[in-house]
A and B are shown apart, each in its own frame.
Chain A
Amino acid sequence: MKRKRSVLMPVYAVLILVFLYAPILVLVVYSFNAANSTAQLHGFSLKWYRELFHDAATLDAFRNTMILAVSSSLISGVLGTVSAVGIFKMKNKWVKNVTRGVTNIPMMNPDIVTGISMMLLFVFAGRMLGRTGVLGFPTMLIAHITFCLPYVILSVLPKLRQTDVNLSEAAQDLGCTPIQSFFKVVLPAILPGVLTGVMIAFTLSLDDFVISYFVSGPTSQTLPIRIFAMTKKRVTPDMYALSTIMFFAILFLLIIINYIQMRGEKKQIEKVKY
C-alpha cells in the first residue's frame, strides 16, 4: 500500500504541473516561432519581440493596463484594509456578519452583470450631471477598485483574527495614539494578508476583460480588449511575445516576494529561539 502511494504521488504531481504549465509552454514556444501561423514552426526567431516594440497600439494598451492594474490594486488595498479593520472592530455580531456577507456578494456576481450594471450606473450618473461620454479611464478605475475590494477584505480579515486583540491595547498603554498603534503594531502583523490581497487585486485587474469592455470609453483601451478585438482577423504572434514577457516578469516578482517572506519568517523563528 505504502509503495503504491509513493509511485502515484510524483505521477500526480507531474500531471498537475503539466496541466498548469503546458499552455504557457506552448505560448512561449510560439512566441519564438518565425512564422506568423501556429500551423508552422519555422525555427527560432526573435522577430515577434522586435515587432512588439514597434507596435504602438499594443504598447499603449499595455501601458494603460499596467497603470490601471497598479493604481486599482493599491487603492483597493488601502480601502480594503481600512474596511477590514472596521468590520473586525464591529461590536454587534449581527451587523458584522451582514456587512461581511454584503461585501462578499460582488465576488459571486457574474462579471457580465457587474459590467453592465456599472456601465448603466456611470451613464445614468453622467446624465444626471448633464454630461455625455463619461466612460473612460476614471470609470474603469472605479469599476476595477470595486471588484477588487472584496478580495482584499477577504484576505485581510483572517489575518486580523489571528493577531492578538490585546496587542494594540498594550501599545496604547505604552503611549501610542490609536493611529500610531495601528501603524506600528496592527499593520505589520496583517501585512502578509494585505500583500496577498493587493496581489490578487493586481492579477484580477490585469486580465479582466468583461467588466472593462463595458465601462471602457474611447480612451485607455486595455490589453485584454485589444487582444479580443483581434479576433476579427488573426491574433498576431507579438501577443505571444508580450504574454511571455509578462509571465516571466510576474514569475520573477513572485520569486522575490516569496524569498523576502521566507527570510522574514526565518528571522522570526530565530528571534523566538533566543
Chain B
Amino acid sequence: MKKFAAVLFAFITVAMIPAHLVHASAAVDPETLRGTTLNVYNWGEYISDGSEGALDVNKEFEDRYGIHVEYTNYTSNEDLYAKISGGGASYDLICPSDYMVERMIAEDMLEKIDFSNIPNYKYIPEEYKNLYYDPNNEYSVPYTYGVMGIIYNSKMVDGEPDSWSILWDEKYADKILNFNNPRDAFSTAQFLLGLDVNSENAEDWQKAADKLKEQKPLVQSYVMDEIYNKMENGEAAIAPYYVGDYVMMAQNNPDLRFFYPKEGTNVFVDALCIPKNAQNKAAAELYINFMLETYIATANAEFVIYGWPHTGVLENPDYIYKDNEYLYGTVPVKTEFFHNLSPETLALMTNLWDDLKIEGSKSAGVYIALIVVVVAIAAIAVFGVIRKKRRESQD
C-alpha cells in the first residue's frame, strides 16, 4: 500500500511538472530565480504568518520556489511613500492603499506589471479591476478591501443609530473614539456635513475642522489600534473603524454592533504593486501570482479578516468568513474612495489637524507654567552662584 502511495505520489508530481511548465510558458521560468531574494514591504499583520496554526505563506513560497523572502513592515501609506521616494532602500513588492497608488503612479514611482506572468489574475472580480487609481490596470493587483463604518456597544448605546451624528451625541461624552490620523478623522466630519472627502476647497476643510473641534470635548481619545482594547473591554462605546476589524472585535465582545452611516462612507482597496527601483521584478510577479492562488489567498483572508477581492476565496467552501454578513453583505449606503490630494490641501489638512490636537490643551497656560519653571530654575542657579561667590570672598 505504501509503495502504491509512493508511486502514485511520484506520478502526480511528474504529471504536475509539465502542467506547471505549460501553465507558466509565457512566464519566466521560476527555476532561474532560485537562490535570489525578494524584498516585500507590507503592512504589519497583513499576511498569514503561521501563528495559531495558520499557514505560513512566506515559508510556503520559499519552500516551493527557493526564493528567499525578506519581509518587512510599515505603519502608514505616508511612511511607505517616504521610504520609497527617499531612494535609500529598494523593495520589490509593496502594498499601498488606493490613493497612494494614484500618487505613486502620478510620480512615476511604480513599475508596470507584466500580467502575462500573473495568470491567477483571473480570480480578481470585475468590479475590482480598472478602479480609479489605476484605470487601465497596469500597475496594481487588488489585495484587500474594506468599508468604514461605526462600531458601538449595544449595552451602552440606546436604540439603533444610523448616522455619523452619533459621534457628536453629547449623551456619550467621553465614550467616543475617533481616528488618530487626519485623513480618516476629517472624513467622519465630512461625511456628516455632506462635504466631498476629496475636496480641494479650503473652506470645506475648515468646516470639517470646526466640526471636529466641536466634537473634541466629547472624544475620549484619538486612537488607531488601541481601539481593539477600548471597545472590547467596554472602556469606550462608539468608534468609527473598518468592518473587518469589527468582525475581529466581535469575536471577543459579542455586545458590539456595526452599521454603515446613512450619509455615506469610505471604501478602500490595498493593492500589490512593484516599485520602480525593484531589483527582482520577476520574483515579485511570481509572488503576486502565488498570493492569488486560492488556498494562499484563503489563508490570508482568514488571517487578516478584511474583504478579499478574489473569486476563488469567495467560492471556497472552507473559507470561514464565506458568507459573513458584515464582510460580504451589501453596503446599503453610498461609498467613496479617498483620492490623492494636492500638496496644498494636504498641508492645509495637516495644519488644521495639528490645530485640533493642540487646541484645548490650554496652550497659553502651559506656556506660562513652562516660563515660570524656567525662570525659577534660573533664579535658583543664579542665587546659588552668588552665594558661592560671597562665601569665597569671605574666605
Contact = CB atoms under 8 A, between A and B. Distances in A.
Interface of A: 35-40, 51, 54-57, 119, 122-123, 126-127, 132-136, 139, 215-219, 221, 225-226, 228-236, 238
B228 interface: yes
A54 B44 contact: no
Contacts of A38: 229, 232-233
B86 interface: yes
Contact of A217 (B71, B89, B225, B248): B89
B169 interface: no
A232 B225 contact: yes
Interface residues of B, number: 41
A123 B248 contact: no
Contact of A231 (B44, B49, B279): B44
B50 interface: yes
Contact of A225 (B72, B225, B304): B72
A232 B88 contact: no
A233 B225 contact: yes
A230 B46 CA distance: 9
A35 to B, nearest CB: 7
A35 B89 CA distance: 38
A235 to B, nearest CB: 7
Nearest to B253: A39
Interface in B39-90: 39-41, 43-46, 49-52, 56, 58-59, 70-75, 86-90
A126 B90 contact: no
Given A38-B233, A231-B44, A234-B45, A218 B39 contact: yes
Interface string B138-158: 000000000000000000000
Contact of B75 (A55, A219, A232): A232
Given A132-B277, A217-B89, A230-B44, A40 B252 contact: yes
A118 B224 CA distance: 29
The 4 closest A-B pairs by CB, nearest first: A229-B44, A229-B73, A218-B39, A133-B90
B174 interface: no
Interface centre among B40, B73, B229, B277 (most CB of A within 10 A): B73
Interface in B263-289: 277, 279
9 contacts: A37-B228, A39-B229, A56-B58, A119-B86, A123-B86, A133-B279, A218-B39, A221-B73, A232-B225
B57 to A, nearest CB: 11
B91 interface: yes
A251 B45 CA distance: 30
B88 A123 contact: yes
Nearest to B42: A229
Given A123-B88, A219-B72, A225-B73, 5 more contacts: A57-B71, A123-B87, A126-B88, A230-B45, A231-B75
Nearest to A234: B228
B3 to A, nearest CB: 34
B74 A229 contact: yes
